[in-house]
Structure 1
Amino acid sequence: MFMPSYRDFRPAFTLQPCLALSADGRNVAFADDSTGNFNLVIQPVAGGPARAVTTFTSHTVRRMAWHPDGGSLLFQADQDGNEDTQIFRVGLDNSPPEQLTDFPKARFQLALGDPLSADGTALAYSGGDRIPTAHDILVRQLENNKINRLFLGTGPVHAGYFSLDGARLSLIEWLNGYDNLVHVVAVDGTSSTRLTATEAAATYELGPWLPDGSAFFVCTDIGREFTGLALMSATTGELTWIDTPDWDVERVSLSADGNTLAWLVNVDGASQLRVRDLAAGKDLPAPLLPLGQAAALTVGPDGSFALMLMSTPTRPWNVLVADLRTGELRWLTGSVPNGSPSVVDAQLVRYPTHDGREIAAYVYRPSGVDTPLGVVLSIHGGPVMQERPAYVYEGFYQYLVSRGLAVIAPNIRGSSGYGASYQRLIFRDWGGGDLGDLAATVDFLRTQPWADPARIGLFGGSYGGFAVLSCVARLPELGWAAAVEICGPSNLITLAEATPPAYREVVAKIIGDPETDVELLRQRSPMTYVDRISTPLFVLQGANDPRVPQRESDQLVERLRARGVPVRYDIYPDEGHGFTKTDNQIKARVDAADFLLHHLS
C-alpha cells in the first residue's frame, strides 16, 4: 500500500506573510523560499514568470516595499533567525543589495504601511540603535542618507503611513501589552501630536491617510469587544466608525486615487472581504473568498482589483488577485503540494470549558474512518494568535491525517478573534485558565467516537510549546501518549529575565514581572513540576532564538535526562524562533511527524 511522505504535502514553495504592489499596479513583490531560503521575488500582476531579486543563503527577507519609481525595492532581513532585522535597498538590475542600516545588535523595521513618501525621497522606519531599552522613529532622506530622528521612544514604537504630501507620519507607541497610543509627527520635526489618551488605551492598527490629509484609517477595539474600522481625525483623534462587526476587522487598504476602500473581516477564523466606494459613499459587492485565511490585503491604484495572500485548509499560501468589478478570483502564484496527495477540509467544532465559556476548534480527520483514531492536540503560539482554516504548518496536519491520525486545533483563551475580553484572559495567567481549556479539549475528545482517549498527543511551538510542557508536567493524569514542543519556555522567571530590554514592560504585562511576581511565575512554570513528566517528549530549539533562548530548552532536557527520562532534543544552529530554511523546516516536520506517528498509531 502506498504511504505518502511529508514531502508530498509540502508546498512547492512557501511565502512570508507580506507583499507589496508597485505604484503603477503592474508588479507585486513578495518573499518565497523557492531557493531554499526566503528571498525577495517580483512577478507581473497580469501573470508571467516570477523573478528572484535577492539570492541570500543565510538572511531571511521579512518585509518589502517598492520605491515609487518602480526601479528598486526596500526590504528588511535578519540573519539565521536572530530577528535583528536590518534595512536594505536593491535595484532590479541584478546588482547586490545595499545595506542601509548596519547595527548587528539593533533591530530596524520598515513602517507598517508604505514606508516611502509618495515622491520617493524619504524612508520611514523604527530602530533600536540609540539605547537598548527603546526604539525610535527615523526618517532617512534617500538622496543623501541624512537621518532625522523624529520620535524618541521609551519602548517599542512603529512608524505607520506618510500623508500623501509627505509632510506628516503616523506612528504607534506600545503602552503595555497589546495596547498602544497613536501619534502624528511632522516630518520636518516641528511638531508631534498624541491623538489617543493613556487612560483610554486600546489596540490600534494604522491604515492609510485620506488624500486631503484630514484623517487616516485605523482598526481599533477602543470601547468595543471586537476590532472595528474607523477614520481618525489627524488633528483631534476623533473617530468616525465605518464598520463595527461582531468580529475583528484585520486589514484595510485604500486605492491610490482615494476612491476604493477594502478591508478584511475575520469571521470565526475565516476571512471575508468588504469593499466601499468612498466617492459614492456606498458599499460595493465584494468577491466571495474561499473558506480560508487572507492576509496582506492591497488595493490596486485605480481600485479595479485587490491583491492578498490566501490559504485554505487544502491549498497552501499563494497570491490571489480579486477583480473588484467582476468578482472574479485568480491565483497569481502556483504553490501546490509537491505530490498529489489526498487532503481533507477542516471542521469547526465547539465545546464547553471549565468556567462555562465555549471553545472553538478546527478538526482534521480522515474521511470514511469509523474506528477510534490517535489524536494530535495542536496548540498555537502567541498566545494572542488564532487557529484558522488554512494549510497549517505547510501541510503538517494533512500529512498526519493521511497516516491515520486526527488533529484538533483549539482556540483556547488568549486567542485572538473572539473579543478583547477573551483574548486578555491569558494576561498574567499563563498556565491557569488556559490549562483548564486544554483539559476540556480532552474531555470533548473522550465523547467523540472517532477519538481514542488512550492515544492523545500534543504539539505546539512558542507559547504553544509552553502549553505542551504545562500539560505533560501539570496534567500527567490525562495520560498523554506523546508530546512535541518547539522553542517553548520551560521557566517563566528565566524567560522574563532574558527578554530584550525594549520588551520587558510588555512581558511584565502579559506574563509577569520577574522581580515582583516571582512566586506566580514559579507556580506556573513547567520546570517547577518537571519531576512529574513521564510522557515521551521531543524538544526542538533554534540556537539563535531571541524570544525563547536555548537555555529554556537546555535546562528542561538536563533535568529530564538526570532522572533517566528519555527525551529527544534537536538543536538547529542556524535558526531562531520558528524555522525559516526549507531543509530545516522539512527535517523538523518529518521528525516531529515520525515521533507522533510512532506513539499514536
Structure 2
Amino acid sequence: MDDMTEPTDDTSTPEPIASTPVTSPPTSSSSAAWSALPDWEKRFRAPRVSLPDWAEDAPSRALFVSNVTGTYELYAWDRDTGEQRQVTDRPNGTTDGVLSPDGEWIWWFADTDGDEFGVWMRQPFKGGADEPAVPGLAASYPAGLAIGRDGTAVVGRSLDEEGTSIHVVRPGGEPVEIYRHRESAGVGDLSYDGTLVAVEHTEHGDAMHAALRVVRLDGALVAELDDTKGGTKDLGLAVMGFAPVDGDGRLLVGHQRRGRWEPMIWDVATGRETELRLDLPGDVSAEWYPDGSGLLIAHDFEARTELWRYDIASGVLTRVETPTGSVSGATARPDGTVEYLWSSAAVPPVVRSTSGAVVLDPPGPQAPPSVPVEDVWVDGPGGRVHALVQRPEGATGPLPTVFDLHGGPAWHYSDTFAAAPAAWLDHGYAVVRVNYRGSTGYGREWTDALRHRVGLIELEDVAAVREWAVSSGLADPERLVLTGGSWGGYLTLLGLGTQPDIWAVGIADVPVADYVTAYQDQMEALRPLDRTLFGGSPEEVPERFRASSPITYVDQVRAPVYIAAGVNDPRCPIRQVENYVERLAARGAVHEVYRYDAGHGSLVVEERIKQLRQELEFAARHVPAATGTRPEGG
C-alpha cells in the first residue's frame, strides 16, 4: 500500500556490456569523501539501476530508473550505440515510465510532489520537449496504460468522485471512454494487433480478487472470465499479457484455483482455458517469450526466486540458472537470453544476463555488502510463520532487535538486499522480518487470512516470532524496536497500543494511524480494498474499524514513538496522522514527528538518508544497541 519501479540496490562483478555511463566516475577527491562515509550511507548513495524495459519492436531501445543524480529518475538507453540519456528531472523524482512499442516515445507520469495525481507526458526517445501524451484527459490517479503499435493508447484513470474509467485515444483523436465503474479496475493489456483490451475489474465488490473482461476498442464485449461466480469465492485473476504475435488472441492469465498463483492460457475467441500444471510448490508468475513459443516462469517460494522456461508445444519445463537469492524482475530478449535483476540479503543487486554478462553497470562506487539472512519457521496461531533473521557479524545474543514489518499487506519480505535493515545491523541491532498472515508467497489462504480482524491477525504472528526470538536467546526482551512503513507502519502503531508491554520503541513510516479518517481522505482506488478487508465501510461495520484502528489504543501506548509522514501522501494521508499525534501529545507521551514534502515515501536519496539517520538516533536514545554504540554519522 509500481510501469517502472525503483530498484532495490545493486553491485556488479562479472564482465559488463560496454555502455556510456550516465555520469562520470568519481574524481579522486570525491573518492576520498566516499571512503569517509559510513557503510550504511554508502548503500543508499551508491548508483543503482532497475531492470531495463525494452521496446517490443525496437529491442535495442530501453528505459530504466537510476538514482545516479541523487534522485530516482528515468533514463533512455540506446543499446546499439551505448548512449544513455536522462529523461526526467524533477525535484521529487520520477519512476513511472513506459516505452511505446516502436521505441519512438517515452511516456512518463507527472504528479505533484509525490501525490500520485497527474497526467501522462511523453518525450521523444532521442530527446526533445515534453508534451501532454493525452491532451483531452484531465489529471487523475493512474489506473493502467497500454500503448499500441499504431500509436493508439488505452488509459486507465481513477477519480474520487467518479471511480475508475478507461479511455481509448487514437493518434490525433479525442479520448473515447469505453469503461466506467465505481469499484476499482485497471487496464491489463492491449493485444499485439491493437484490437483487444484486457481489463481487470472488481465490479463484484471483492477488491482482493479481480475478474477479467476483454473488450474491443469501442468497448464491445468479447469475453469474460470470473472465478468468483458459481458459488466460489476468494479466487482472483490477473492479466499477465497477450501473446506477442499478430492476430493471436491468447491471453496469459494468473489464477488461484489450486490455492496459489499459477499461469494459464485463455483463448478469448474460443473460451478455451489451458491450465499449466507446473510441479513447483510456490506462487508462479509468467510472461511470454518474444516469439510466443514459450513462457518465462518466475517461481517464488519461501522468500526466494527461481526462473524457468516453459515450452508451450512440448510442455517441457527447463531451469534458467540464477544464483540463490531473489529476482526482482526478469525479461526474455529476442535472442533467447534472459535478463534479470538479482540480489540477496548479503549482496547488492545487479542486472544480469544468462549470457554471463552484467547488462547495465552503474557508474561510480558500489554499495558495501551486508550479512546473509537466516530462515526461521515459528508455530503461530494460524500456522507456521516464516521470518528472515539477520544478526551483526560475530555478534552473540541477547541483542537489541528490530522487528521490521513489511507494507502491502499483500507483499512479502524475501532474501533480497535492502539498505535500511543493513543500516540497523551496522549499528549493532539484530533484524527480524516477519512474513505474517496477509503476506504473498505462501498460498492464497495465508494471503487472504486478514479479513474482519485486520491488523490484529498479523500482530498475533509477530508476537509468536517475538517469543521465539526472546526464548532462543537472539533478542533482548527489554530492547525491542517495532518498525515498518505503510502497512508496516500501521501495524507498528497498532502493535504499540495492543501489545504495549513488549515493545521498547516504535518507528512508523507513512502509517495508517486513524483508520476511519484515513478511509475518508485516501485516494478512491484504495477504499474498495478496505471495504473488502473489513466487510464494509466505516459506516457499515464501525466496530471492525474501531477494533483495528491504532488511534483506538493510543492511550495505552507506553513506548516512545517516532512517526515520519509525507504531507502529500494519498495512501496514508496526513490528517489522520495528525489526529493520532494530537492524542499522543495530549497525554504527554514521548514522541517525535517528521513531516516531509513528498508522498508515500521519497525518491530523493538525501531525504531517505536523513529519515533513517533520525530513526537510528531516536532508537539509540531509547534503546542503545550496545555499550558505547552510537549511530554512525548521527
TM-score for both structures, normalised by structure 2? 0.85
Partner of 1:507: 530
Partner of 1:269: 303
Task: Give 5+ residue unaligned stretches, structure 2.
Answer: 1-35, 626-634
Structure 2 CA distance for partners of 1:541 and 1:337, relative to 1, 3 Å? farther
- Per the alignment, in what secondary structure is the counterpart of residue 530 of structure 1? helix
Partner of 1:315: 347
Q: Is the 8 A contact 2:115 2:570 kept in 1?
A: yes
**Aligned residue type for 1:184:** V
Q: Is the 8 A contact 2:147 2:153 kept in 1?
A: yes
Structure 2 CA distance for partners of 1:330 and 1:285, relative to 1, 3 Å? farther
Q: CA RMSD in A?
A: 2.5
CA drift at 1:257: 2.1
**Aligned residue type for 1:391:** F
Alignment partners' CA distance in 1, 2:37 and 2:126: 45
The structure with higher relative contact order (CA 8 Å, sep 6+) is 2
Q: Does 1:173 align with 2:197?
A: no
Partner of 1:291: 324
- Per the alignment, in what secondary structure is the counterpart of residue 185 of structure 1? strand
- Per the alignment, in what secondary structure is the counterpart of residue 53 of structure 2? strand
Partner of 2:253: 218
Partner of 2:152: 122
- Per the alignment, in what secondary structure is the counterpart of residue 483 of structure 2? strand
Alignment partners' CA distance in 1, 2:564 and 2:190: 41
- Per the alignment, in what secondary structure is the counterpart of residue 60 of structure 1? coil
Worse overlay, 23-32 or 531-540: 23-32
Structure 2 CA distance for partners of 1:443 and 1:47, relative to 1, 3 Å? farther
- Per the alignment, in what secondary structure is the counterpart of residue 514 of structure 1? coil
Q: Is the 8 A contact 2:347 2:369 kept in 1?
A: no
Partner of 2:27: none
Q: Does 1:330 align with 2:358?
A: yes
Alignment counterpart, residue 391 of structure 2, candidates 320, 341, 365: 365
Task: Give 5+ residue unaligned stretches, structure 1.
Answer: none
Alignment partners' CA distance in 2, 1:431 and 1:197: 27
Partner of 1:492: 515
Alignment counterpart, residue 206 of structure 1, candidates 235, 239, 242: 239
Structure 2 CA distance for partners of 1:3 and 1:39, relative to 1, 3 Å? closer
**Aligned residue type for 1:589:** L
Q: Is the 8 A contact 1:217 1:229 kept in 2?
A: yes
CA drift at 1:173: 0.8
Q: Does 1:351 align with 2:381?
A: no
Structure 2 CA distance for partners of 1:73 and 1:27, relative to 1, 3 Å? same
Q: Does 1:470 align with 2:486?
A: no
Q: Is the 8 A contact 1:18 1:64 kept in 2?
A: no
Alignment counterpart, residue 408 of structure 1, candidates 432, 435, 438: 432
Q: Does 1:456 align with 2:456?
A: no
Partner of 2:225: 195
Residue by residue, what CA displacement relative to the aligned partner does 1:191-240 show, whole Å, maximum 9, x if unpaired?
Answer: 4432325424532221232334242111111x221111110120354421
Q: Does 1:95 align with 2:136?
A: no
Q: Does 1:140 align with 2:169?
A: yes
- Per the alignment, in what secondary structure is the counterpart of residue 476 of structure 1? coil
Q: Does 1:240 align with 2:302?
A: no
Alignment partners' CA distance in 1, 2:182 and 2:134: 21
CA drift at 1:588: 0.9
**Aligned residue type for 1:158:** G
Alignment counterpart, residue 464 of structure 2, candidates 440, 448, 464: 440
Q: Is the 8 A contact 1:364 1:407 kept in 2?
A: yes
Partner of 1:557: 581
Q: Is the 8 A contact 2:212 2:238 kept in 1?
A: no
Structure 2 CA distance for partners of 1:122 and 1:3, relative to 1, 3 Å? closer
**Aligned residue type for 2:305:** S
- Per the alignment, in what secondary structure is the counterpart of residue 328 of structure 2? strand
Residue by residue, what CA displacement relative to the aligned partner does 1:548-598 show, whole Å, maximum 9, x if unpaired?
Answer: 11122211111111111121100002x111222222112112211222234
**Aligned residue type for 2:408:** G
**Identity between Structure 1 and Structure 2 (%):** 24
- Per the alignment, in what secondary structure is the counterpart of residue 555 of structure 1? helix
Alignment partners' CA distance in 2, 1:22 and 1:197: 31
Alignment partners' CA distance in 2, 1:32 and 1:428: 40
Alignment counterpart, residue 43 of structure 1, candidates 54, 77, 98: 77
The number of residues matched between the two structures is: 579
Worse overlay, 534-543 or 191-200: 191-200
Residue by residue, what CA displacement relative to the aligned partner does 1:41-99 show, whole Å, maximum 9, x if unpaired?
Answer: 1235579453212222245231322x233222223242211011421211134312212
**Aligned residue type for 1:30:** F
Structure 2 CA distance for partners of 1:216 and 1:3, relative to 1, 3 Å? closer
Q: Does 1:419 align with 2:443?
A: yes
Residue by residue, what CA displacement relative to the aligned partner does 1:337-367 show, whole Å, maximum 9, x if unpaired?
Answer: 756x452111111111134x11001111123
CA drift at 1:446: 1.1
Q: Is the 8 A contact 1:380 1:386 kept in 2?
A: yes
Residue by residue, what CA displacement relative to the aligned partner does 1:142-180 show, whole Å, maximum 9, x if unpaired?
Answer: 3x0432322223322221222222211211112422111
Q: Is the 8 A contact 1:11 1:316 kept in 2?
A: no
Worse overlay, 150-159 or 101-110: 101-110
Residue by residue, what CA displacement relative to the aligned partner does 1:248-290 show, whole Å, maximum 9, x if unpaired?
Answer: 113x222332223212110112111011233x52436433222
Partner of 2:596: 572
Q: Is the 8 A contact 1:133 1:155 kept in 2?
A: no
Alignment partners' CA distance in 2, 1:430 and 1:264: 30
**Aligned residue type for 1:306:** V
Alignment partners' CA distance in 2, 1:442 and 1:284: 40
Alignment partners' CA distance in 1, 2:125 and 2:406: 38
Alignment partners' CA distance in 2, 1:318 and 1:86: 32
Q: Does 1:31 align with 2:65?
A: yes
**Aligned residue type for 2:237:** Y
Structure 2 CA distance for partners of 1:197 and 1:564, relative to 1, 3 Å? closer
Q: Is the 8 A contact 1:72 1:89 kept in 2?
A: yes
Worse overlay, 35-44 or 193-202: 193-202
- Per the alignment, in what secondary structure is the counterpart of residue 497 of structure 1? helix
Structure 2 CA distance for partners of 1:405 and 1:198, relative to 1, 3 Å? closer
Partner of 1:382: 408
Worse overlay, 146-155 or 401-410: 146-155
Q: Is the 8 A contact 1:491 1:522 kept in 2?
A: no
**Aligned residue type for 1:353:** G
Alignment partners' CA distance in 2, 1:372 and 1:9: 27
Structure 2 CA distance for partners of 1:122 and 1:550, relative to 1, 3 Å? same
**Aligned residue type for 1:141:** R
Q: Is the 8 A contact 1:61 1:77 kept in 2?
A: no
Structure 2 CA distance for partners of 1:508 and 1:15, relative to 1, 3 Å? farther
Structure 2 CA distance for partners of 1:377 and 1:468, relative to 1, 3 Å? same
Q: Is the 8 A contact 1:316 1:336 kept in 2?
A: no
Residue by residue, what CA displacement relative to the aligned partner does 1:508-530 show, whole Å, maximum 9, x if unpaired?
Answer: 11145200111221122221221
Alignment partners' CA distance in 2, 1:354 and 1:47: 57
Q: Is the 8 A contact 2:143 2:164 kept in 1?
A: no
Q: Is the 8 A contact 1:496 1:508 kept in 2?
A: no
**Aligned residue type for 1:310:** W
TM-score for both structures, normalised by structure 1? 0.90
Partner of 1:545: 569
**Aligned residue type for 2:618:** F
Alignment counterpart, residue 287 of structure 2, candidates 239, 245, 253: 253
- Per the alignment, in what secondary structure is the counterpart of residue 261 of structure 1? strand
